[in-house]
Amino acid sequence: MHAFVVPLTVFLALVFAVSALGKLRSADRGSASFAALQIPVRHPDAAAVALIAAEAVVAVGLVATGGWLFVGFAAGAFVLTAGLLIVVVRAHRKGATDDCGCFGEWIPSAIGPRLILRNVMLTIAASAVLASSILVQTLLGGPVGVPLALSSPSSVVPAVGALAAAALIAVATWATVRASTTTPAASSPADRGAGAVVVPETGEIVDLLAAGSRARLLVFVSPGCHACETALTALTAAEDDLNGLVDLYVVQRAASGAAGTASAHALPQAARFALDVGGSLSASLGTGRATPVAALIGTDGLQAGPLAVGSDETALLIDSIRALATAPPA
């Protein structure tokens, strides 16, 4: 039983720890998750702090307690995973496609079937730990919890092997998820017209992937995305320096209805707002559904460097370009 419970317990503890740390280091401290998941919260910042604290406490409790106290933390893990599954399914049914912010900006995860499947698996793992711990505690009368399992002479070797297996599971999962959200830089020209967007202010159609006299900085945003507001704040602060080097475009996926033709965010004065009708531009660059995402397009129409995913990476890309503008001439 220990060889089954211990790996799942450590795996869940790592998931909660990464989730808490990811939210803590994000620019908005995870408060944007409530907007992305369409959860009405009066004080999102306070709610985000409470969620981070709950995840951190559960992560520590899963690996540091035993007996009925461990069962209590296992129940807490089940409540958190099942609750997240419910709100993700609800948001998906409402048509939400933003980054859920579940792990801050460490692992961008757009709301959709893949995210639902991931949360189903986490909920199954948490329910298995809870059910197994109750079974051991009530019927078998043996030690339950990681410390008690390790202190049992008859189970030291299996428990150590289980811990090693849990570490491998966590690393493999991290690498798989991280790789699935990383997009390589474009290495060949896009199809003609693939970067066409509509500028509502003038009604013109502009191909942002066509060769031109100036480079372009594209920032992809979506309605209800608090992390997008953070990215646009960084863009606004640097627009005077950037305007001398690149053309600025804030790109939003076109939505049905008249409201979809207007920007959902306050824009820098130097930026032009564009609608990605049909998502052809985002598909050409491979931005995915998570926002914000920034891309630097050279004068040759090719993507220069990797995509900047999330507000932190977008701000870093903006600062990198800004440094070129403010650098003294050689």
pLDDT of residue 73: 94
pLDDT of residue 304: 87
Residue ranges covered by each domain of the chain: 2-180, 196-326
Cα–Cα distance measured from residue 202 to residue 295, given in angstroms and rounded to the nearest whole number: 23
pLDDT of residue 179: 38
112: closest CA among 132, 91, 129, 128? 91
Q: Which one is the CATH code of 196-326: 3.40.30.10, 3.40.50.300, 2.70.98.10, 3.30.70.3000?
A: 3.40.30.10
Cα–Cα distance measured from residue 134 to residue 147, given in angstroms and rounded to the nearest whole number: 16
Phi-psi region of 16 (alpha: psi -120 to 50; beta: other; left: phi over 0): alpha
pLDDT of residue 187: 42
pLDDT of residue 310: 84
pLDDT of residue 140: 66
Burial class (CB in 10 A: 0-12, 13-18, 19+), 278: exposed
Per DSSP (E only), the strands in the chain are 196-199, 204-207, 215-221, 246-253, 271-276, 293-297, 308-309
Q: What is the pTM of this model?
A: 0.55
Cα–Cα distance measured from residue 147 to residue 163, given in angstroms and rounded to the nearest whole number: 12
Cα–Cα distance measured from residue 199 to residue 8, given in angstroms and rounded to the nearest whole number: 51
Burial class (CB in 10 A: 0-12, 13-18, 19+), 54: middle
Using DSSP bridges, classify how beta strands 215-221 and 271-276 pair: parallel, antiparallel or unpaired: unpaired
Which tokens sit at 7? 């790996």
pLDDT of residue 217: 95
Which tokens sit at 199? 């500028």
Cα–Cα distance measured from residue 289 to residue 99, given in angstroms and rounded to the nearest whole number: 7
| pLDDT-flagged residues of the chain (< 50) | 172, 175-176, 179-190, 256-259
pLDDT of residue 188: 47
